[in-house]
Amino acid sequence: MPITESDIRKIAQLAHLEITEEELRAYTPQIAEIVTYVEQLNALDTSAVEPSTGGLTPEGERTTADRADEAQPSLGQELALDQAPDPASGHFRVPKVL
Amino acid sequence: MDFSEYSIETLRSRLSNGEARARFVVESSLDSAEKLNETLNAFLQIDRAGALARADEIDSSKNLRNAPLAGVPVAIKDNICVRGLQASCGSRILGPYHPPYSATAIERLQKAGAVIIGKTNCDEFAMGSSNENSAFGAVKNPWDTARVPGGSSGGSAAAVAAGIVPAALGSETGGSVRQPASLCGIVGFKPTYGRISRYGLVAFASSLDQIGIFGRKVSDIASVLGIVAGRDTHDATTADVPVPDYVGELAGDIKGARIGFPRELFGEGLDDEVRAAVLKTIEAYRELGAEIVEVELPHAKYCIAVYYIIATAEASSNLARYDGVRYGFRAEEAKDLKHMYRATRDEGFGAEVKRRIMLGTYVLSSGYYDAYYRKAQQVRTLIKHDFLRAFETCDAVLTPTTPTTAFLIGEKTDDPLAMYLNDIYTCTANLAGIPGINVPCALSSEGLPIGFQLLGAHWSEPTLFRLADAYERAHPFEARPRVHVASASE
């Protein structure tokens, strides 16, 4: 099923992106063309193939990422807030939610 | 004094025997960065004060002076965190962001005495094959400033090609080091997945991303990899695999090495001059005593389709963190939180990043996950198996790096799919997690560089370097671009 402008509008909403009418007209055919291109994968029978999730190398998969459950030094409040656009009394301040 | 033809080894010996001081080397690198940046737009930040202070520190400390990269100037792609410097990722959405910590690769480089002279321009969040997607303007190719340097690590590639630094870090998700290295006539390397820590590399597509290295010589890449490689507890995807002496393993004889030749990758879509030049390198290997064996990679042709599902899906998730709350840019005057998110992302992200976030959101959305993402991960397995099978009969597979030489700025910006096809020879390595290296081999009739790449099995970096180094010794690539330190200082 070809992608329509209303699909793109919905996807943009899901992705928290605001797009203009002009962008909508540009993106729709481009994304439709890319989706058509990637659908060439449907020609392959992959019913018996495991998806590649997890480690890409056997050595990577064998490497354990566990460590002792002990507190480690971290950034700290001051540094963590240092780059915030609107910090206030030790918090990240944002516009009203409701 | 012009250091632009020095290998790291030569530079190090001049520095350690007192013929040159770190301050002098670093200052001349900074001078050329500042001077050539007007033409190339390769740097987003040049850290003169910090780099000179570090150089002085090296000159005045005997211990530091003996460190393996002491006084060697390097440039870092602007999506890798360096404490004290900016990290814009070529995007507006990071605003004035200065990371509070350094990437593990950076800490290791600095501990080894390397001096960071600046942060290099790149496609926004490393998404692009031409560097035209940077919010801060395109980088120009030093060979012809009307052309792209490739992407996404175009700034790092241009800085090395122009002779400003002997080595630079970039990042690879689908070819973003090898492809610009090819278009700029230098060596570009992508390691095995898990070889270099990604801690402090801004995430794009986590199952594909790796930090990569640019240099003018294979031995320089080997020197830098030996420093930055290895297990890091901050990155659970780094593997517990010993780091060999990459430099020590060079200069070996390659007689009897087996080079895999995948005939089907030399067909349609490949520029005639590039094909001829790369086929010549196969002959060159034969003359060096290697055996050429035909290999088949029947699923390689699906790599772009697989790549653009997996990379965009992972990107849509990774880039959800840019919401104007904790760091970077925030749009003003939004009436509530939801509108603040949307306005921030609308004003902060460029067109290609939005396109990929939407594509990724689409392929992961309810009802489509199995049809796209799962399917792509299955074909990814087939691509990986193709390579593993090929490596049963050969030590490395040789292919072109890019389908054409550097194209004109603006030539492909309106056609995203045509742009994506630039990665057709490179993105297989990212999907399979294997290492790859671009080596420059010829100039086209228009005077533009052509490169070939060698792809090896997981952890086969010593073999790849030995093979690449053997070619380089027999056929040194001596041409230099028009925009270059040597011509600028005349």
Q: Which of B262, B275, B270 is nearest to B386 (CA)?
A: B262
Q: Contact at 8 Å (CB) between B247 and B226?
A: yes
- B351 lies in some domain: no
Partner A contacted by B320 (CB < 8 A):
yes
Q: Print the domain residue range for B195.
A: 8-258+474-489
- B62 lies in some domain: yes
Mean pLDDT to the nearest integer, A70-76: 90
Q: Quickly tell me which residue has 């807030």 as its tokens.
A: A81
Please report residues of A whose CB lies closer than 8 A to that of B417: 30, 33-34, 37
Partner A contacted by B388 (CB < 8 A):
no
Asked if pLDDT for residue B189 goes beyond 60, the answer is yes
- B44 lies in some domain: yes
The HSE-up count of residue B159 (CA atoms within 13 Å, CB side) is: 37
Over residues B307-334, the pLDDT tens digits come to 999 999 999 999 999 999 999 999 988 8
Over residues B193-231, the pLDDT tens digits come to 999 999 999 999 999 999 999 999 999 999 999 999 999
C-beta atoms of A97 and B337 within 8 A:
yes
Q: Please state the pTM of the whole predicted model.
A: 0.97
Q: Contact at 8 Å (CB) between B70 and B12?
A: yes
- B222 lies in some domain: yes
Predicted local distance difference test score (pLDDT) of residue B488:
67
Predicted local distance difference test score (pLDDT) of residue B198:
98
Over residues B39-73, the pLDDT tens digits come to 999 999 999 999 999 999 999 998 899 999 999 99
How many CB pairs (< 8 A) connect A and B? 186
Q: Contact at 8 Å (CB) between B351 and A12?
A: no
Helix (H, G, I), strand (E, B) or coil at B398: strand
Sign of the CA dihedral with B458 first, then B461, B467, and B468 last: positive
C-beta atoms of A16 and B341 within 8 A:
yes
C-beta atoms of A59 and B458 within 8 A:
yes
Query: How many CB atoms sit inside 10 A of residue A84's CB?
Result: 18
Mean pLDDT to the nearest integer, B10-21: 91
C-beta atoms of B336 and A18 within 8 A:
no
Do the strands A87-88 and A91-92 form a parallel or antiparallel pair, or are they unpaired? antiparallel
Number of domains in chain B: 1
Over residues B238-293, the pLDDT tens digits come to 999 999 999 999 977 899 999 999 999 999 899 999 999 999 999 999 999 999 99
| Ramachandran bin of A87, using left for φ above 0, alpha for ψ from -120 to 50, beta for the remaining angles | beta
Residue B152 catalytic? yes
Determine what percent of chain A is predicted with pLDDT higher than 70.
98
Query: How many CB atoms sit inside 10 A of residue B488's CB?
Result: 17
- B451 lies in some domain: no
Over residues B126-160, the pLDDT tens digits come to 999 999 999 999 999 999 999 999 999 999 999 99
Predicted local distance difference test score (pLDDT) of residue B305:
97
Asked if pLDDT for residue B365 goes beyond 70, the answer is yes
Nearest CA in chain B to A59: B239
At B169, the amino acid letter reads: L
Which of A15, A38, A57 faces B192 most closely, judged by CB atoms?
A57
Q: Which CATH number characterizes residue B174's domain? A: 3.90.1300.10
Q: Is the pLDDT higher at A1 or at B466?
A: B466
Mean pLDDT to the nearest integer, B358-364: 96
Determine what percent of chain B is predicted with pLDDT higher than 90.
92
Please report residues of B whose CB lies closer than 8 A to that of A73: none
Token reading at B480: 């230099």
Predicted local distance difference test score (pLDDT) of residue A1:
64
> Average pLDDT over chain B, rounded to whole?
96
Residue B77 catalytic? yes
Please report residues of B whose CB lies closer than 8 A to that of A12: 358
Sign of the CA dihedral with B121 first, then B304, B463, and B226 last: positive
Mean pLDDT to the nearest integer, B81-107: 96
Asked if pLDDT for residue B1 goes beyond 80, the answer is no
Rounded Cα–Cα distance for residues B126 and A30 (Å): 20
Please report residues of B whose CB lies closer than 8 A to that of A30: 355, 416-417
- Relative orientation angle of helices B303-318 and B351-364, to the nearest 10 degrees: 100
Nearest CA in chain A to B371: A42
Token reading at B68: 């393996």
C-beta atoms of A18 and B329 within 8 A:
no
Interface test with B, best of A27, A52, A61, A94 (most B CBs within 10 A): A52
- B439 lies in some domain: no
Predicted local distance difference test score (pLDDT) of residue B110:
98
Distances (CA, A) of B247 to A9, B133, B142, B225, B465: 53, 36, 29, 9, 9
- B339 lies in some domain: no
- B266 lies in some domain: no
Interface test with B, best of A21, A83, A96 (most B CBs within 10 A): A83
- Residue A55 — pLDDT band, cuts 50, 70, 90? confident
ipTM: 0.95
